[in-house]
Structure 1
Amino acid sequence: MDQIQAMRIYVRVVEAGTFTRAADSLSLPKATVTKHVQALEERLRVKLLNRTTRRVTVTADGAAYYERTVRLLTDLDDIEASMTNARSNPRGRLRVDVGTGVARLLIIPNLAQFHARYPDIQVDLGVSDRVVDLIGDNVDCVIRGGELSDQSLVARRIGNLEFITVASPGYLERHGAPQHPIDIERRHNSVIYFSPQSGRHYPLEFRKGEESIDITGPYLVSVNESNAYLSAALAGLGVAQITTFQATPYLDDGSLVQLLPEWSQPLLPVYVVYPPNRHLSAKVRAFVDWAAELFQRDPHLQRTAAPSTVPGRLMLAA
């Protein structure tokens, strides 16, 4: 038995919570994962895991072994990195998760530049507005929008998203343009975004001085994905709030019209996030620094003001 491999597999099982998820994340057969953990228990002569049909739980001995093993593997990675050119030439497979809007408009269009700079890094790009479990899903880092609810995660703030209120010309021909946010609630339809996790509907937000108004409807459609949200606005299904980052080309070609410009919306902070118990390897650091550069290049992503206090509003950067 390769003891180091068995230790890495055991750590993955603990973090994933099941043998099946661990096997999937390691691209190994479940039987291989089970075999390595069993061999490790036989070698140590202790029971590390309690197994049920749905998940595994860690025994007291298993928890102690996990904590020391994580530290040992991190030190081992540090040693290998220091003895190679990994820092100047990072390599390996990198699992990243980003929101659909950021993936379509920013990450994917520029990914060739990343590979030109780091040709030996393979990127597994998960694209979804659903917030992933970084540890359970074995994700190295995510780009996430909204205030962080999990304070155990390590986060680097790389930008802010500014929202504006828009509607299509066709919608405005049918309904007229609202002169005040209350007009939207009384005589218009909204396009509403709802959380992929909780199903919570997020309101249209309007701020002017000390005045604050939130509009939750009426609406014809609500969606839980940012590209679908934009499509609904373009299709004339109601008044929507999207980022200037998304809106600019459609404002320029007349597909969307900005409404109520004297009213602002809270900025949404954007972070690159990674788990605290993961070694920040050269490949992760390379991606984090590159993503920060991308956001810094675009003035629409660097607006400054008081950020949104609404946790979890994940329009673009889940």
Structure 2
Amino acid sequence: MEALNLLESFIQTAETGSFSAAARRLGLTPAAISKNVGRLETHLGVRLFQRSTRRLTLTLGGEQFLRQVSEPYAALQAAFASVAQDEGRPAGVLKVSMAVAFGREYLVPLLGEFLARYPAIVPDWRFENRTVDLIADGIDVAIGGGIELTEGVVARELARVHVVATASPAYLKGRALPRHPSELASFDGIARRSSSSGRVRTWTLRNQIGEQALAEPRMRAIFDDPEAMAHAAMQGLGVALLPMPHAAPWLQRGALVRLLPGWCADNGPIALYYPNRRQLPPRTRVFIEFIVEAFQRPELLLRFDGR
């Protein structure tokens, strides 16, 4: 087992490019990872990494060794995971990353059903409004929208997300409801700034017969978080163009009212993202299958579809 531990430290360091990233993935200290790699180099009689204050790169010998051991190591991992299953059931810690509001509203309610099916799996769920690096951060699955695919990561779409116009009953009191997106120009608006580009988003709404029009309320406030936009709209600050996952809970409770029924914008998919491994650990595979199955339920899909 000691040789496997040394090998694991080497492979994780090679994949992540640093002792610190490998340490985060394995739950060790960078010093321990460095020591393990050093011991492996001593055992092999080959320097595996070129070290400097700024970079850590594989040597030619390190590159060759990585090619030789990667597939056998992956096979060993799969074998250990299979043997470690509790009475033939998937087991182990499952690391999943998701946005705070989305995870709380849509994924936590599914957790009881999932654990009833797979009681030997321990969820380690990270609620964070940032794009994670699955490989560097050692995450099994990420769930979200707009995540850029990188090498070694695949996506599986769960649902299309639509953006709809919303406002509070208090804000709409005494106002004539808009009949066309262009009429939103006379309403106060809570705009959204893209956290990646820094630009204020504008939306072109479409209806079922293919007409399209710009929806551009006059700017009253700018936020970079749709959940905050929803809360500001409920306070009567103006119209918020919200993704359906953030609008649906408040529309159902009557805290927000949908404007322009039948008009919406496509905001892209919500998807599962996971490493493109030849053999996924059983706990990861069954979680992916469970979430895909759950998102095929009509009552859940309706909370994403603004058409």
Separation in 2 of the partners of 1:304 and 1:166? 14
Question: How far has the Cα of 1:54 moved from its partner?
Answer: 4.4
Q: Which moved more, 1:3-12 or 1:277-286?
A: 277-286
Assess, with a 3 A threshold, how the Cα gap between structure 1 residues 150 and 18 changes in structure 2: closer, same or farther.
closer
What is the correspondence of 1:243-254 to structure 2 with a 5 Å cutoff?
243-254=243-254
Q: Which has the higher contact order (CA 8 A, sep 6+)?
A: 1
Separation in 2 of the partners of 1:194 and 1:217? 14
Alignment correspondent of 2:204: 205
Alignment correspondent of 2:70: 70
TM-score where L is the length of structure 2: 0.86
Separation in 1 of the partners of 2:237 and 2:54? 43
Separation in 1 of the partners of 2:112 and 2:304? 29
Alignment correspondent of 1:274: 274
Alignment correspondent of 2:225: 225
Q: Give CA-to-partner distance per residue, 1:107-144, whole Å, 9 cap, x none.
A: 11221222222222222211223211111111111112
SS of alignment partner, residue 162 of structure 1: strand
TM-score where L is the length of structure 1: 0.83
Assess, with a 3 A threshold, how the Cα gap between structure 1 residues 145 and 32 changes in structure 2: closer, same or farther.
same
Assess, with a 3 A threshold, how the Cα gap between structure 1 residues 60 and 237 changes in structure 2: closer, same or farther.
farther
Does the 8 A contact of 2:25 with 2:136 survive in 1? no
Alignment correspondent of 1:315: none
Q: Give CA-to-partner distance per residue, 1:182-239, whole Å, 9 cap, x none.
A: 233x323332333333334332330134443344664333333332232222222332
Separation in 2 of the partners of 1:214 and 1:87? 57
Alignment correspondent of 1:283: 283
Gaps of 5+ in 2: none
Alignment correspondent of 2:194: 195
Does the 8 A contact of 1:130 with 1:196 survive in 2? no
- Measured on the aligned residues, the alpha-carbon RMSD in Å equals 3.0
SS of alignment partner, residue 136 of structure 1: helix
Separation in 1 of the partners of 2:104 and 2:13? 33
Question: How far has the Cα of 1:173 moved from its partner?
Answer: 3.4
In the alignment, residue 62 of structure 2 is paired with which amino acid?
G
Q: Which moved more, 1:19-28 or 1:269-278?
A: 269-278
Q: Give CA-to-partner distance per residue, 1:58-111, whole Å, 9 cap, x none.
A: 333323322333211111123335556569411111111112232011111221
Alignment correspondent of 1:94: 94
Alignment correspondent of 1:167: 167
Separation in 1 of the partners of 2:304 and 2:241? 18
Question: How far has the Cα of 1:285 moved from its partner?
Answer: 0.6
Does the 8 A contact of 1:165 with 1:241 survive in 2? yes
Does the 8 A contact of 1:162 with 1:303 survive in 2? no
Alignment correspondent of 1:313: none
Separation in 2 of the partners of 1:67 and 1:216? 54
In the alignment, residue 100 of structure 1 is paired with which amino acid?
V
Does the 8 A contact of 1:166 with 1:259 survive in 2? yes
Gaps of 5+ in 1: 308-318
Separation in 2 of the partners of 1:81 and 1:23? 21
Alignment correspondent of 2:104: 104
Does the 8 A contact of 2:20 with 2:30 survive in 1? yes
Q: Which moved more, 1:91-100 or 1:246-255?
A: 246-255
Separation in 1 of the partners of 2:74 and 2:300? 38
Number of aligned residue pairs: 306
Separation in 2 of the partners of 1:52 and 1:69? 25
Does the 8 A contact of 1:49 with 1:59 survive in 2? yes
